[in-house]
């Protein structure tokens, strides 16, 4: 039986994360730095991999991303964000 992480896309939020980050005029490094203030450590390279869906995202990372971007966790999953 195939597991979800066996697919090419390892998360559902990558595209929306990139859109929301750019709407906030925030670089990947700035997002990483703001997450660090919440004791959530995602390096710039990992944010890039989340955005291109080649990295999974943990529940605490989802929480931090939603807080830093000022959106609900649900909105990270909405399709499509414009």
Encode pLDDT of 31-59 as tens digits: 999 999 999 999 999 999 999 999 999 99
Which residues form the domain of 51? 8-70
User: CA angle, corner 9, sides to 69 and 58, nearest 5?
Assistant: 45
Nearest to 44 by CA among 55, 29, 34, 22: 29
Task: Specify the number of domains making up the chain.
Answer: 1
Asked if 75 and 16 count as a contact pair (C-beta separation under 8 A), the reply is: yes
**Mean pLDDT, the chain, integer:** 92
Q: How far apart are CA 30 and CA 39, in angstroms?
A: 14
- Residue 82 inside a domain? The answer is no
pTM summary value: 0.89
The CATH number for 36's domain is 1.10.260.40
Q: How far apart are CA 82 and CA 68, in angstroms?
A: 19
């Amino acid at each position: 039986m195939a597991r979800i992480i066996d697919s090419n896309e390892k998360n559902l939020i990558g595209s929306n994360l990139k859109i929301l980050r750019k709407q906030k005029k925030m670089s990947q490094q700035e997002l990483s730095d703001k997450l660090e203030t919440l004791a959530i450590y995602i390096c710039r390279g990992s944010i890039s991999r989340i955005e291109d869906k080649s990295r999974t995202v943990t529940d605490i990372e989802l929480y931090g991303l939603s807080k830093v971007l000022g959106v609900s966790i649900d909105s990270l999953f909405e399709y499509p964000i414009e």
